[in-house]
Copies of this chain bind each other. A is one copy, B any other.
């Protein structure tokens, strides 16, 4: 019975194909789990900047965290190796969360080092991935942007702790940075999704930092010179 056999062959093939995919998922999930653990440890390191000691010497912290990014690269090589070509978006959900967090950490490091915004290229490089789909395992643009928005929240908290620890200039720089971020995001026509929701929070982060700047300025603690208000108001 020819038909029967041919059908059987067709289905056996399909079956092994499906099992293979299932296996890939399992393997990716397993690597991602380890990477997430590593990410938590990196986060713990970076959290130390909120402590008075850490605040005084952020470069020690960023150096350490940068070092830990080396291992991140290995994880992404592992994932990338397991991934069948051109199926990035089929499995994207698995690493989306951790990639956003790593983007945030990279952006945090770069800000502390140079008070500038990390570019998508640099961000990708730190993780050992590409920025363009065509070139291989890459970082999705949305995930990079989400990392920037997470940074905004962290910096608003950071500005408060900086003042408590006696560093009155940092809030001014942070306010400037968040203002730029805000202008940047306004250029984007974000659809109503998780990114847009997070962006709405940026406004409040910015407001908070600006309140800190205000507090500091009004008490003349910041180094910016301020001319006294004309008496006539």
A residues whose Cβ falls under 8 Å from a Cβ of B: 3-4, 6-8, 10-12, 14-15, 17-19, 22, 25, 36-37, 40, 43-44, 47, 50-53, 55-56, 58, 84-90, 92, 115-117, 119-120, 133-134, 141, 145, 157, 160-167, 176-177, 179-189, 191, 207, 210-219, 221, 226-230, 233
Contacts and interface: CB of A to CB of B under 8 A. Distances in A.
Contacts of A11: 183-185, 187-188
A141 B133 CA distance: 24
A85 B187 contact: no
Contact of A89 (B87, B166, B230): B87
A10 B119 contact: yes
B183 A217 contact: no
So how many copies of this chain end up in the complex? Answer: 6
> Which 4 A-B pairs rank lowest in CB-CB distance, beginning with the nearest?
A166-B228, A11-B184, A89-B89, A167-B229
A217 B10 contact: no
A187 B86 contact: no
A76 to B, nearest CB: 18
Contacts of A134: 85-86
